[in-house]
Structure 1
Amino acid sequence: MQIENVVDYIVNWLKDYATKSGMNGFVVGVSGGIDSAVTSTLCAKTGLKVLCVEMPIHQASSHVTRAQEHMTQLKKRFSNVSTTKADLTPVFEEFKTEVILEGKQATVDMALANTRARLRMTTLYYYAGLYKMLVAGTGNKVEDFGVGFYTKYGDGGVDLSPIADLVKSEVYQLGKYLDVPESIMIAAPSDGLFGDARSDEDQIGASYPELEWAMAMDEKGKTIADFSGRELEVFKIYKRFNTANKHKMVPIPICKIPNNFTQ
């Protein structure tokens, strides 16, 4: 990958989109992970205003530390970057007092995890509206179009997606080029939606390099009959997530009324 050209292309794309939209810059949710670190740095390189928002909800201390380290570094490097923190833990806890928490614990936990992401989306759009900015998405290609590993109308609710055509390994290449803090570069990817340090691999059952491979095989038209052993296991995992989360990757279904019904 021609890293410098890719970086310049994304930065110009971001700046051009914001300028044509008549917006002042970008709002980015910073989690302490590689995707948000790369996205916020790319936005900063446009020279437009960038607001990085940290939004802890019972967050693991390691996530908080990395997010703060990145934001501090970014402000030192770019004068157009500002930061803020919105501790959403009290909001989340109050929400839980007003809803029914019944059913299988795993189901409740997942619903609450998605609620965290949607509270964060709401916060980002609050600031975007306040300062006339665009919400920049942080999803990569494997998450957004492979396994659908994001929350619908949560971290999937954005105005534009600068790194969604890059697989995870490519995002890491950009991270190294952009001088993302080493603590983020070496940290295990995590969505941070459960209040602990569980990784994406813990939840999915396969690593991002494995998922990138499976995505490439699927795009080539391969089937489970083509694999065995760990490759078969990974390909099945990929296909299961891809199928289950397809609703996130396609346009919202619209009930089209027949013309003769409206005449």
Structure 2
Amino acid sequence: MKTEKVAEYIIGWLKEYAENAKVKGFVVGVSGGIDSAVTSTLCAKTGFPTLCVEMPIHQAKSQVTRAQNHIKQLKEHFKNVSDVCVDLTSTFEDFKNVVPTASSSPKVDLSLANTRARLRMTTLYYLAGLHGYLVAGTGNKVEDFGVGFYTKYGDGGVDLSPIADLMKSEVYDLAAFLKVPNSIQNAQPTDGLFGDSRTDEDQIGASYDELEWAMNMQGKDKTESDFSGREQEVFKIYSKLNSINQHKMLPIPICEIPKELN
């Protein structure tokens, strides 16, 4: 990848989109992770006002610190960057107190994790509406179109996706070029939605390097039987997630009424 040229292209694309949409700037949820750091930096480099939003919900201190350090660095280099912290912990707890309890359900933790992401999406759109900004998504190609590792109408609810055509390894290349803090570049990727130390790899069962490999193999029409050992295991993990998460990647199905019934 021609990293510098790709960065210039994305920045130009963001500027053109904002100008055509006649909006004033961008809002980005900053988590302390690599994707949001790269996205917010690219938005900042457009010269348009860029609002970085922290939205902790029982967040690990290390994640909060990384996010704050990144925002501080951005503000030192870009006068168009501002920030706000919206602590959603009490909102999340209030939500848990009013919805039906389902402590016996094995899916309750996942449902609550997705709720965190959707509370954050609601917050970003509130701020975007307030300022006349666009919500910039932070998903990469592996997450968005490979394994569907995001929350529908949570972190998947955005106005535009500047890095969604980049593999995770390419996001890391951009991060190095953009001088994203080393603490973020070296951190284990995590969605931080469960309030514990589990990483993305813990949840998925494969690393992003492995998932990229599987995504490339699928593009070459390979099947599970073409591999053995760990490669076969990874390809199976990728194929399963790619299949069951198609509902996130495809347009919402519409029940089209036959003409003879109109």
TM-score by length of 2: 0.99
Partner of 2:3: 3
After the TM superposition, which residues 37-186 of structure 1 pair with which residues of structure 2 at under 5 Å, given as runs? 37-102=37-102, 104-186=104-186
Per-residue deviation, 1:105:
4.7
How many residue pairs match? The answer is 262
One-letter identity of the residue aligned with 1:136: A
- Note the alpha carbon deviations across 1:91-130, whole angstroms, 9 max, x for none: 0000001111215453000000000000000000000000
Percent same amino acid at aligned positions?
69
Cα–Cα, structure 1 residues 103 and 240, in superposed 2: closer, same or farther, change >3 Å? farther
Tell me the distance in 1 between the aligned counterparts of 2:128 and 2:12.
20
- Note the alpha carbon deviations across 1:12-44, whole angstroms, 9 max, x for none: 000000010000010000000000000000000
Tell me the distance in 2 between the aligned counterparts of 1:247 and 1:103.
27
Partner SS, residue 50 of structure 2: strand
Tell me the distance in 2 between the aligned counterparts of 1:106 and 1:20.
46
Partner of 1:209: 209
Per-residue deviation, 1:227:
0.4
Tell me the distance in 1 between the aligned counterparts of 2:136 and 2:70.
17
Per-residue deviation, 1:198:
1.1
Partner SS, residue 57 of structure 2: coil
One-letter identity of the residue aligned with 1:61: K
Per-residue deviation, 1:244:
1.1
Tell me the distance in 2 between the aligned counterparts of 1:53 and 1:103.
32
Match status 1:241 vs 2:235: no
Tell me the distance in 2 between the aligned counterparts of 1:259 and 1:95.
44
Runs of 4+ in 1 over 4 A off after TM superposition: none
One-letter identity of the residue aligned with 1:30: V
- Identify unmatched segments of 5+ residues in structure 1: none
- Identify unmatched segments of 5+ residues in structure 2: none
One-letter identity of the residue aligned with 1:204: I
- Root-mean-square deviation (Å): 0.7
